Structure 1
Amino acid sequence: MKQRPAPPSPSDAASALDGLAHALASLEDPADIRAFLEDLCTPAELEAMGDRWRVVPELLQGLPYREIHDRTQVSVTTIGRVARSLERGAGGYRAAARRLGLSNDSH
């Protein structure tokens, strides 16, 4: 049976995530970013991330979860997860939404 290596240490994982963040930040053209994401992620991962991002503006408008689901067909569970991230997450959704003019709040 094939043995899996030990998971990376927290510092190695943080370093890898930092490297990924820097790689994304280095790309300015949305077409380059899309190509990078298509190389990096599986189709299912891209769909999941797209679904999450698609509900951010709707949540920022204060729409009810069921209405968002009816509009987007994104699961209510996913909508709830995004809403929790908007409220208690690292602030990435809100920062991106502000930069794109989707939100004017200062949370």
Structure 2
Amino acid sequence: MSTRQEKAAENELFAAILSLESIAELRAFFEDLCTPAELEAITDRWSVVPALLEGTPYREISHQTGVSVTTIGRVARCLTHGAGGYQIALKRQKQ
């Protein structure tokens, strides 16, 4: 797939996600889209964001959540050098 085709496919995926109207619909979609391991990896990443923003040490987060220190480090890197998506989602959840 060319870069242009990949971008179009991504946009279609994101539009499909935005069209869903409830947690139940999102859960069904992601259960169909992802393997259980992929969904667990996504959930793990999201679950450590609040602790990272509170400044909790990686090893403590890992001990509390079971998420690897490597994954926690990747999430931390995205929080500081990523596209800002985590921050947008957190802000909207608080509204």
Q: TM-score, normalised by structure 1?
A: 0.85
Aligned to 1:21: 14
Percent pairwise identity: 60
Give the drift of 1:73: 0.8
Q: Choose from 79, 91, 94 the match for 2:87.
A: 94
Question: Helix, strand or coil: the match of 1:63?
Answer: coil
Structure 1 segments of 4 or more deviating over 4 A? Answer: none
TM-score, length-normalised on structure 2? Answer: 0.95
Question: Is there any run of 5+ residues in structure 1 with no aligned partner, and where?
Answer: 1-7, 102-107
Equivalent-residue separation in structure 2 for 1:99 and 1:62 (angstroms) = 21
| The structure with more radius of gyration | 1
Please give the secondary structure, in 2, of the residue aligned with 1:100.
helix
1:69-96: CA deviation from partner (whole Å, max 9, x where unpaired): 1110100000000011111111111111
RMSD: 1.2
- 1:42 corresponds to which letter in structure 2? T
Say which of 23, 30, 34 aligns to 1:30: 23
| C-alpha distance in structure 2 between counterparts of 1:19 and 1:91, whole Å | 21
User: Which region of structure 1 is more displaced relative to structure 2, 71-80 or 22-31?
Assistant: 22-31
Aligned partner letter, 1:9: S
Higher normalized helix content (fraction of residues): 2
Structure 2: stretches of 5+ with no match in the other structure: none
Counterpart check, 1:43 vs 2:39: no
Aligned residues: 95
